[in-house]
Amino acid sequence: MNDKYLTFKQISDSETELYVYGDIREKDFFDIIFGTGEELVNVKTLKEALEKIKTPNLTVRINSYGGSVDQGLAIYSLLESCKLNVKTIVDGFACSAASVIFMAGKERIVPENGLLMIHNAWTRAEGDSNAMKKVAEDLEKITQPSINIYAKKTKLSEDEIKQKMNEQTWITSQEAYEWGFSTTQTRENKANQALEADFIHNLVLENKNLKAKIAMYVEKEKNIMVKEDSMKSFFNTKK
């Protein structure tokens, strides 16, 4: 198998590199009719690729915005349970379902220019209030396996994971290492970073810095208000 999005190559007698560089989902009706979807990554194509690997070590390089939860969970299980020594590396992004696949590595690396993104499962729905309640309940159940995987592999509690998923959190290289999403800290990344990925990476960092400054400003204003209230209370106290 050798296409743009899911390809592997044996780089030595002991190591093979597998690239997950596309949306994670199965082909739909329109893909089948129009012959599209060659860029898709799913458990079937990955299984076929794994069957051709002859080396004991496998490095899975990921650059994907994610896709279907079921496919991400299935690929995670496939990689984690295989007999190969699996290492995962983020080349750009590992978002949503792709971040779940990333967690399958025994060694996991998010380089300085890489990002993870975790969030709750979502869908489109229509119907009455009962149907909407059912959809909400189903989404919570569908999200739970991903929560379990993150909580099992990282240093964060389940509640901390849930909060970050509720907030649709972008995770930098440093945060990934501190929180336990990655196991190895490195600044190196031999893969070429796409201009789009580089732009969004810088945008995420700027947004995080802005949020930190706002939080510091709010905290400073709170402290000033507390001091002012204390002074007013002092001078207004009758002696």
- 203 and 176, same domain (yes or no): no
In a domain, 104, yes or no: yes
**Residues 92, 72 share a domain:** yes
Q: Which of 30, 67, 12 is nearest to 45 (CA)?
A: 67
Cα 166 off chain centre by? 13
Would 223 be classed as within a structural domain? yes
Backbone angles phi, psi at 48, to 5 degrees: -60, -40
Query: Taking CA 212 as the corner, what is the angle to CA 210 and CA 217, rounded to the nearest 5 degrees?
Result: 95
Instruction: Among 177, 193, 209, identify where a domain stops.
Output: 193
- Tell me: pLDDT of 239 over 70: no
Same domain? 218 vs 145: no
Do residue 17 and residue 33 come from a single domain? yes
13 in a structural domain? yes
Tell me if 1 is assigned to some domain: no
Residues 97 and 201 in one domain: no
97 pLDDT higher than 90: yes
Whole-model pTM: value is 0.77
User: pLDDT by residue (tens digit) across 98-135?
Assistant: 999 999 999 999 998 899 999 998 777 788 888 888 88
Cβ neighbour number for residue 99 with a 10 Å cutoff? 28
In a domain, 121, yes or no: yes
Give yes or no: residues 105 and 153 share one domain: yes
- Do 118 and 155 fall within a single domain? yes
Instruction: Find the domain containing 211 and state its range.
Output: 195-239
**Are 16 and 117 found together in one domain?**
yes
Residue 37 sits in a domain whose CATH number is: 3.90.226.10
pLDDT of residue 33: 77
* pLDDT for position 51: 87
Number of structural domains, the chain? Answer: 2
- Looking from the CA of 80 toward its CB, the CA atoms found within 13 Å total 15
- Clarify whether residues 222 and 156 are in a common domain: no
Give residues with Cβ within 8 angstroms of 66, minimum separation 6.
Answer: 23, 24, 72, 95, 96, 97, 98, 99, 117
Is 41 within the bounds of a domain? yes
d(CA 185, CA 109): 7
| 199 shares a domain with 151 | no
Neighbours of 25 (CB within 10 A): 19
Q: Could you tell me if residue 186 is inside a domain? A: yes
Three-class DSSP labels, 31-88:
HHHHCCCCCCECHHHHHHHHHCCCCCEEEEEEEECCECHHHHHHHHHHHHHCCCEEEE
Q: Are residues 88 and 117 in the same domain?
A: yes
| Rounded to 5°, angle at Cα 109 from 108 and 112 | 160
- When the pLDDT of each residue in the chain is averaged and rounded to a whole number, the result is 82
Residue 2 — very low, low, confident or very high, per pLDDT cuts 50/70/90?
Answer: very low
Whether residues 133 and 206 fall in one domain: no
